[in-house]
Every structure is written in C-alpha cells, then in structure tokens.
C-alpha cells in the first residue's frame, strides 16, 4: 500500500498524533514539506482540510459512510498528484474540486445501480461539521440531482464564487449559474412544500 494512503488511513483512524508546531505553518509551506516527503506535513494538511472535505462529500451524497470513503479517496488522489500542484494557488479549492467530482461520480453510479435494502437501514448521523444546515434544507438538498446539489453546496455552504465553482468543476460559468438557479428554485419549492 502506498505511503500516502497509509498516512490518510492512520489519520482517519486517529492512530496518529501530530505535533502542534506545524499548525502555525501555512498551507503552501505544508504542501512544500509534503512534496518533500514529510508525513507530519501530510497529517497536518489532513487535520486542517478533512472536516470541510467530509462535509462537502456528505452534502452531495447524504451518506456518512460514503462521504468518508469519498473524502479519503480524494485525499489519497490529491496526495498522489501533489507533485503537480501549484503552491501559488490555494489548496482548499483544488481539494474540494476533487472531493465534489468524486461525490458526483458516486451519486451517478449509485443512481445507476440502486441498493435494494438501503431504505431499511438506519442512516448514521450527519457529520458534526454541519450544525448550521437544518433538517429541512438537508432533505431538500437530497431531492436535488448531484449536479445541482454540488453547485448549491459549493456556493452557499462552502462559500465559493460561481467563477471558482466553474473552474473547480471544469464547467462554463453560464452552466454553473444555470445549475445554481435551478437548484435554488427547486430548494425553494421543496422548502415551501415542507412548510405547509
């Protein structure tokens, strides 16, 4: 198993203690150290970015276990591509792009082969990083298609601009705006119906 994958798995499992001095370093310095092979830098990047990555994946797929897998796979993918990452750019949007694209792919694949008995299983609780999102909004988001859900999550829950979303998802800006508008309209209708 590659070293990057082991570092992510250890960090997910909580088996790793990272010294705190790294927490004062910026992402660019940590990326540089991680590119040089520093496991401690990888662990600090993971500590910083895991909650937002997991939350983004969960908000797109609405499945805690799948969101954890998606976020973990995205971290491993990002670590494998870290040598090609431009340190002059912020790490979070690049990582969110990987996470959201994987979450969209997962949602599409799940729609093609639905799990028969999944509705009989209790859904685990949402990640703790999403207290500001009410149950009504989560239910309304779940009713959206993955493409619309992804742009709404990126724009309104993670705070990216439409231009940043377009770059992250490799879409024209007009497509992002269209998906955002349609997604928000559908959310509005769903929330109105829920309020009745």
Candidates 33, 31, 99; CA nearest to 66 is 99
**CATH code assigned at 76:** 1.10.1740.10
15 in the same domain as 101: yes
Token readout for 103 is 């979450």
Per the CB < 8 A criterion, the answer to whether 155 and 96 are in contact is: no
- Among 77, 99, 123, which residue terminates a domain? 123
Residue 184 has a pLDDT of 92
151 in the same domain as 64: no
Low-confidence ranges of the chain (pLDDT < 50): 18-20, 116-118, 120-121, 124-131
Residue 26 has a pLDDT of 87
Q: Is 168 exposed, middle or buried (0-12, 13-18, 19+ CB in 10 A)?
A: buried
**Which domain range does residue 42 map to?**
1-123
119 in the same domain as 58: yes
30 in the same domain as 106: yes
The alpha carbon of 124 is separated from its chain's Cα centroid by a whole number of angstroms, namely 18
Please give the model's pTM, rounded to 2 decimal places.
Answer: 0.64
Candidates 90, 94, 7; CA nearest to 42 is 7
Per the CB < 8 A criterion, the answer to whether 102 and 57 are in contact is: yes
Residue 6 has a pLDDT of 64
Residue 117 has a pLDDT of 46
Instruction: Give the count of domains, the chain.
Output: 2
């Amino acid at each position: 198993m590659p070293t990057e994958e082991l570092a992510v798995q250890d960090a997910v499992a909580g088996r790793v203690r990272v010294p705190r001095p790294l927490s004062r370093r910026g992402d660019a310095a940590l990326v540089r150290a991680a590119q040089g092979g520093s496991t401690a830098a990888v662990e600090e990047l993971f500590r910083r970015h895991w909650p937002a990555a997991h939350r983004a994946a969960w908000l797109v797929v609405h499945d805690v276990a799948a969101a954890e897998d998606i976020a973990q796979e995205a971290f491993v993918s990002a670590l494998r591509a870290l040598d090609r990452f431009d340190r002059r750019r912020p790490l979070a949007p690049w990582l969110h792009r990987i996470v959201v694209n994987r979450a969209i792919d997962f949602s599409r694949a799940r729609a093609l082969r639905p799990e028969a008995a999944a509705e009989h299983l209790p859904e685990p609780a949402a990640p703790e990083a999403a207290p500001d999102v009410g149950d009504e909004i989560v239910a309304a988001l779940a009713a959206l298609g993955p493409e619309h859900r992804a742009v709404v999550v990126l724009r309104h829950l993670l705070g990216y601009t439409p231009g940043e979303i377009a770059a992250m998802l490799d879409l024209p800006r007009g497509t992002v705006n269209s998906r955002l508008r349609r997604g928000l309209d559908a959310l509005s209708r769903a929330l109105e119906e829920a309020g009745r």
